Structure 1
Amino acid sequence: MPLQELIKSLAATDQQLEKVLANRLKFQPQFKFKFDFVSIMNKDLKYFYISEMGARYFGLKPADMIGRDWKKFINLPSEAFERLDEKIIQVFNTGTADYENCIDILNIQGQYDYFECLISPIVTSSGEIEAVMCNVTDITERKLSELTLSNQVAKFSQLLDLCPMAIYIVDNHGKIVSVNKAFTEDISSNRVDLIGKQYKLINEYLGIDHEKSAITKALNGIETSQEFLTASEKKYLMSVLPVREQATGAIVGAIGINSNITEHEKFREENQKKQHELLNQYLTENKKLNQLIELCPLGIVLYDNKGNVIAVNKAYWERISNFKEEEFLGRSGQYLLETLGFNWENSPCQQALNGVESLDCYLKNAYGNCYLINAIPLRNYKNTIIGAMTIIHDITEYEKLKEDMVKLDRLNLVAEMAAGVAHEIRNPMTVIKGYLQFLNKKVPDDMVEQFCIVLGELERIEQIITNFLSLARNKLVEYKEQDLNAIIKGIIPLISTDAMEQGIELKINLAEELPHLLLNEKEIKQLLLNLTRNGIEAMSQHGTLTIETIVEGNTVSLCVDDCGCGICKENREKIFDPFFTTKENGTGLGLSVCAGIVRRHNGIIEVESKKDKGTRFIITFNAKTE
């Protein structure tokens, strides 16, 4: 196109732009427009043409600028003038278009505007370069925003440098756009070697597989963390987050943070080691405590805060309860107490769960079993009640022993009194008996019967005195290894006579090969006589009296059975008490003497009886062992 026609076309276009701009300014007076204009220069670098908008930017009209040197109107630094001059001249010389990416011009308000300029040659039909055309585009807003962003990035970089953790930022193309001081120090590099490079370089520095890198995953939208070990044996945790555009959500880059966790890992390992040691110590102490609880001869029960049984020791389910451990675990404390014959309400166990300690609480159930219970609440470190513990001591045998000791003390007291009284009575009774036996031979026949009655009563008194002395016997008794069966056989004739007089059948069942026992023959005979006479007196005519011996392991038992009236339950515990009797003419000393004899032989005497069925006395001796 000829130059004149090009100018006319440009002028027409410029007029149209002026109208559009005028219309917009009517409705938007504050409208800020960009200056995009066209100018044409000849070989002398003078304006041949400039658009209205271009002239207005300089506060002039096109006519004021055409034919004049362009440098007269544009306020540029000298080096900028030289650079632009060189580019315009170069286009004239080479015929090749050139581009200036940024020209900063001081406007009439005294502020800098920024432009891009495309310089193109205008060639005639003969191929001669007649002029150059400059298309100028205002990029002030874009440049200012870039400067603002650059300032913000600079401030952000300063903040990043203050952070002790290594931080790096890559764009969506994987180029490194920023790293902080801590990162460059960690990898012994500098920003110049990193900025603008692909993030693959970071992976190489850190020794991470590029395909498996957390940065790769973050650029694909996956937030990732991974641990890695550097060549200097330092351990790091890499956390990389994708950075998204707020409006569209598109990924525009990624930010990574590398935390040096070497000391943290070392501390964690040491802490785990200490925790392991403490755990082992706790388990050891816990095992010791459990062993101590298991070895404790007292019953121990643990409850949770709801009153359910969570643990019982061996002594409880072996010595106190007949149930197995599994039958109690998980059951309520109420069930456990009811098996012992007690109520849960207001019990020491329930009070302990309410925070009240109960010490040395004495309880006795309907079966006669006695218990001493201590119950305490269990609290955690916050002093909150988490359960309770009870210690149960079965003192039934102790209470029984205490009762036996009371009886023994009473028996000893009676025995001492009996010994004194019997000794004082026996001497004059011997004299009286001797004179009566002498006079019995001198009296008339009609008086003999009366003398026999008196002598019989004297013999009865003498037997009572003998029993008294047996009850009070505290002198050393001589024991010899003897055959119990031989002693029984030696006194059978006397027992048979008594039985025959009452019409009683006597049965003897003696075990064969009975081991020898340490016995006092006189006392064993007295024991057997007392028991058999009691049995004979308890039976009416035509009863059966049985004497037998039994060997079981290391024990030998002597049993005396009758089929008499029996002993009621209320009297069964009293029959061995001195002076207790249910007979009209009884002294209450026979069975007391028997108990004393058995006790001196380190034996046990037991009684089994049913009302109107009969009674069985069982005396158990320990066989002599080598």
Structure 2
Amino acid sequence: MLKDLLLQFIVSLLPVFAFQIWNNKELNWKRMPVFLGVFCGASMLLCMLTEPNFLGCQLDFHLIPYMIGSLYGGWPALALLTLICVIVQYPTLDNFQELASFILFTAGFVMLMSISYRPFHQLSALRKERNGLLLMSVLMLYLVITLTGSVMEWTFDLVLEVVLTVSATLLATWLSIFIIESVKEKQLLHEEVTRLSVNYRNEVEKLQQFIDVTSFAVIVVDCEGRITHYNEMALKLLHIRIELTESGNLLGTYYSKAFQPGQGDLFVNMISQALNGTRATLVPFVSGDKMLLKTTFSLRSLLNNEAEGAALMVQDVTELSQLRNEVGRMERLSLVGQMAASITHEIRNPLAVIRGFVQLIQERSPASQREYFQIVMEELDRANMIISDFLSLAQNRALTMELSSLNDILNELLPLLNADANLRGQTIDTSLCEDMPLIMLNDREIKQMFLNIARNGMEAMDDHGVLQISTHYWNDRIELRIADNGEGIAQDKMVHLFEPFFTTKTRGTGLGLPLCLSIVERHNGKIDVNSIEGEGTTFIVTFYLQQEEKAV
């Protein structure tokens, strides 16, 4: 008897074992009702074909896969299992009483499973176990009552068989639900871990994308000091070892071995302090012509606030510094404008009066003293010129522009420049573009700018110097080049070339080039200067064409 019960017990658990195999292979959960229906049906067949016959009573475990398949497989599994049960058991019915009892039990079972299916799936795992045991207990009670009516005499062995069968059935029922729910919980945990892993990977990818596109140089290290993230800006701004950048093996390298000795010592010290818990610091640093702003901070765990790494961020603020200098220059120009407004009324008129009286005294003085009066008048004219440059530089009124040819403006001034060059013993070489388009210009200001730069070039050359003037035209811009072969400009003076009051000439005002720059900028252009000491200087004035100008 025990062997038969053990065989029935094992066979009834076959769907559960198959369910575990199915789950381990991570197959599609949507096919589970079909799967359970097939395996529970096979288990039912094996249980009914191997049912023990003890003392004239046939007791098997086919109700276990029948109920498990119906609860977890739903209507498809319930219909399939009921059909199998009818096909197998109907031929074994001997009389009308057995047929009626079978029909009544089957109908009751189908109705009970139909009512219990949806509520069962909404229960927790523990309550599913209790609910499954309750349902099986109801079925066992019905079968025991039915068996009582058919047994003529209850013996000890028969009672023992019934008790063992009912106990084993309830145990198999609980074990089946327990294993299925444990596997489902494991599957849910696996799916949650997979989802978290995917989310973590996505967040890491987003972090790396952010690091890659940011204008900051970024290096992130873990708590052990290994580099976990970096971007291209870090390779450009930071002093990373060349062999690491070329081989691409920077990830996983200890930060202390990633930087070049000497130049990268400051970065190593800052990261070390951040790993030790030092708060974020901002450190300005000048490297060649670049100004860098460096900061480090600790990366801490949200759970225990312990340091889990550190980050080094370096920003190139060179452009910001240049913009700050430009703002300072504009402020100085604004101050110049205010000064010029006062100088116009306070100085220019008295100078005109003084010059008039000096000229009058000159006419009444001996010829031997006229040279002194001439010097006084030249100095008065020079002072008046300085005032005029003040006024021109301070002007911020709207310009009246019209379509003009740059070549025509230059051709008007070339005779004047040639005459000046002849007096100096110099030569002017011109090369003007033939197909020059018309652009919006203010004739008077362009002439002033051109004369200032050209005369500066002539003053920078000695006798027999050559001043080259040329124009060029590309798709969207026009260039005016004025090149001399004079002494050139020292590199330390180039950065101050367009600052007001800065001059390399003994008698210069330092306002000519700032005035030229102001004129060009009002025409939405720019001025570039290339100079080599001992060889000469080239001024490149660029004007950009607008869409309407291109169409002309």
Same fold at TM > 0.5: yes
1:541 aligns to what SS in structure 2? coil
With a CA cutoff of 8 Å and minimum separation of 6, indicate the structure with the bigger relative contact order. Answer: 2
Q: Aligned pair in 2 of structure 1 residues 552, 437: CA closer, same or farther (>3 Å)?
A: same
Q: Aligned pair in 2 of structure 1 residues 537, 205: CA closer, same or farther (>3 Å)?
A: closer
Q: Residue 433 of structure 2 corresponds to which residue in structure 1?
A: 511
For the residues of structure 2 that align with 1:334 and 1:551, how far apart are their CA atoms? 53
Q: Residue 265 of structure 2 corresponds to which residue in structure 1?
A: 343
For the residues of structure 2 that align with 1:335 and 1:422, how far apart are their CA atoms? 66
Residue 264 of structure 1: which of 163, 171, 182 is its match? 182
Q: Does 1:571 align with 2:489?
A: no
Q: Does 1:312 align with 2:233?
A: no
Alpha-carbon contact 2:280-2:298 (below 8 Å) kept: no
Residue by residue over 1:205-257, the C-alpha shift from the partner in whole angstroms, topping out at 9 and shown as x without a partner, is 7999xxxxxxxxxxxxxxxxxxxx9676579xxxxxxxxxxxxxxxxxxxxx9
Alpha-carbon contact 1:503-1:542 (below 8 Å) kept: yes
Q: Residue 282 of structure 1 corresponds to which residue in structure 2?
A: 200
| Greater Cα offset, 440-449 or 281-290 | 440-449
TM-superposed CA distance for 1:363, in Å, is: 1.9
Alpha-carbon contact 1:337-1:344 (below 8 Å) kept: no
Q: Residue 476 of structure 1 corresponds to which residue in structure 2?
A: 398
Q: Aligned pair in 2 of structure 1 residues 370, 450: CA closer, same or farther (>3 Å)?
A: closer
Q: Aligned pair in 2 of structure 1 residues 446, 479: CA closer, same or farther (>3 Å)?
A: same
Alpha-carbon contact 1:328-1:336 (below 8 Å) kept: no
Larger Rg: 1
1:599 partner amino acid: E
Q: Residue 302 of structure 1 corresponds to which residue in structure 2?
A: 220
Residue 362 of structure 1: which of 284, 295, 312 is its match? 284
Alpha-carbon contact 2:340-2:391 (below 8 Å) kept: yes
Q: Residue 378 of structure 1 corresponds to which residue in structure 2?
A: 299
Alpha-carbon contact 2:218-2:233 (below 8 Å) kept: yes
TM-superposed CA distance for 1:316, in Å, is: 5.0
For the residues of structure 2 that align with 1:312 and 1:510, how far apart are their CA atoms? 52
1:476 aligns to what SS in structure 2? coil
Residue by residue over 1:109-137, the C-alpha shift from the partner in whole angstroms, topping out at 9 and shown as x without a partner, is xxxxxxxxxxxxxxxxxxxxxxxxxxxxx
1:392 aligns to what SS in structure 2? strand
TM-superposed CA distance for 1:450, in Å, is: 5.6
Alpha-carbon contact 1:348-1:361 (below 8 Å) kept: no
Alpha-carbon contact 2:217-2:238 (below 8 Å) kept: yes
2:221 partner amino acid: Y
For the residues of structure 2 that align with 1:206 and 1:325, how far apart are their CA atoms? 68
Residue by residue over 1:302-358, the C-alpha shift from the partner in whole angstroms, topping out at 9 and shown as x without a partner, is 234454443223565688899979747335546765599543466433322333232
Alpha-carbon contact 1:311-1:329 (below 8 Å) kept: no
> Alignment identity in percent?
32
Alpha-carbon contact 1:371-1:395 (below 8 Å) kept: yes
TM-superposed CA distance for 1:397, in Å, is: 0.5
Residue by residue over 1:356-399, the C-alpha shift from the partner in whole angstroms, topping out at 9 and shown as x without a partner, is 2324332222x131122232223455655443222322111101
For the residues of structure 1 that align with 2:382 and 2:366, how far apart are their CA atoms? 25
For the residues of structure 1 that align with 2:447 and 2:483, how far apart are their CA atoms? 17
Alpha-carbon contact 1:378-1:387 (below 8 Å) kept: yes
1:556 partner amino acid: I
The number of aligned residues is 396
Q: Aligned pair in 2 of structure 1 residues 307, 524: CA closer, same or farther (>3 Å)?
A: farther
For the residues of structure 2 that align with 1:564 and 1:533, how far apart are their CA atoms? 12
Q: Residue 314 of structure 2 corresponds to which residue in structure 1?
A: 392
Q: Residue 469 of structure 2 corresponds to which residue in structure 1?
A: 547
Q: Residue 494 of structure 1 corresponds to which residue in structure 2?
A: 416
Q: Residue 580 of structure 1 corresponds to which residue in structure 2?
A: 502
Alpha-carbon contact 2:239-2:259 (below 8 Å) kept: no
Q: Aligned pair in 2 of structure 1 residues 459, 417: CA closer, same or farther (>3 Å)?
A: same
> What is the Cα-based RMSD across aligned positions, in Å?
4.1
1:584 aligns to what SS in structure 2? coil
For the residues of structure 1 that align with 2:540 and 2:430, how far apart are their CA atoms? 15
1:549 aligns to what SS in structure 2? strand
2:382 aligns to what SS in structure 1? helix
Please identify which structure carries the higher helix content.
Answer: 2
Equivalences for 1:6-405 in 2 at 5 Å? 176=3, 260=176, 261-313=179-231, 316=234, 327=248, 329-330=250-251, 333=255, 338=260, 342-344=264-266, 347-365=269-287, 367-380=288-301, 383=305, 385-405=307-327
For the residues of structure 2 that align with 1:282 and 1:567, how far apart are their CA atoms? 58
Q: Residue 349 of structure 2 corresponds to which residue in structure 1?
A: 427
Alpha-carbon contact 1:312-1:325 (below 8 Å) kept: no
1:272 partner amino acid: H
For the residues of structure 2 that align with 1:554 and 1:336, how far apart are their CA atoms? 46
| Greater Cα offset, 416-425 or 329-338 | 329-338
Residue 406 of structure 1: which of 328, 331, 340 is its match? 328
TM-superposed CA distance for 1:432, in Å, is: 4.4
1:561 aligns to what SS in structure 2? strand
Alpha-carbon contact 2:11-2:43 (below 8 Å) kept: no
2:412 partner amino acid: G
Residue 529 of structure 1: which of 431, 434, 451 is its match? 451
For the residues of structure 2 that align with 1:289 and 1:538, how far apart are their CA atoms? 57
Alpha-carbon contact 2:219-2:227 (below 8 Å) kept: yes
Q: Does 1:605 align with 2:493?
A: no
TM-superposed CA distance for 1:598, in Å, is: 2.6
Q: Aligned pair in 2 of structure 1 residues 286, 184: CA closer, same or farther (>3 Å)?
A: closer
1:618 partner amino acid: I
Alpha-carbon contact 1:481-1:519 (below 8 Å) kept: yes
Q: Aligned pair in 2 of structure 1 residues 230, 353: CA closer, same or farther (>3 Å)?
A: same
2:424 partner amino acid: Q
Q: Aligned pair in 2 of structure 1 residues 328, 459: CA closer, same or farther (>3 Å)?
A: farther
2:265 aligns to what SS in structure 1? coil
Q: Aligned pair in 2 of structure 1 residues 520, 491: CA closer, same or farther (>3 Å)?
A: same
For the residues of structure 2 that align with 1:268 and 1:530, how far apart are their CA atoms? 85
1:557 aligns to what SS in structure 2? strand
Please identify which structure carries the higher strand content.
Answer: 1
For the residues of structure 2 that align with 1:334 and 1:518, how far apart are their CA atoms? 59
TM-superposed CA distance for 1:448, in Å, is: 6.1
